[in-house]
A = this chain, B = another copy of it.
Amino acid sequence: MKPGSKNGNISDVLIKKNIKPSYQRIKVFEYLLGTDSHPTVEQIYSDLVNEIPTLSKATIYNTLNLFEGAQLARVITIEENETRYDACIEEHGHFKCENCGKIYDFPVNLDNLVSGNGILENFKVNEKNIYFKGICSKCLNNKSNKQEGKNGTGK
Question: What residues of chain A have their CB less than 8 Å away from a CB belonging to chain B?
Answer: 75, 77-80, 83, 93, 95, 97-98, 104, 106-108, 110, 113-114, 117-120, 122-137, 140
Contact A123 B140 (CB under 8 A): yes
Picked from B119, B129, B132, B133, the residue with its CB within 8 Å of the CB of A106 is B119
Pick the 10 closest A-B CB pairs, nearest first.
A122-B137, A127-B133, A126-B134, A125-B134, A124-B135, A130-B130, A124-B134, A80-B83, A77-B77, A106-B119
Q: Secondary structure at chain A's binding surface: helix, strand, loop or mixed?
A: strand
Contact A78 B77 (CB under 8 A): yes
Distance in angstroms from A126 CB to nearest chain B CB is: 4
Picked from B77, B118, B120, the residue with its CB within 8 Å of the CB of A132 is B120
Distance in angstroms from A88 CB to nearest chain B CB is: 15
Distance in angstroms from A102 CB to nearest chain B CB is: 11
CA distance A126 to B93 in the complex (A): 15
Contact A98 B117 (CB under 8 A): no
Picked from B78, B107, B110, the residue with its CB within 8 Å of the CB of A117 is B107
Distance in angstroms from A65 CB to nearest chain B CB is: 10
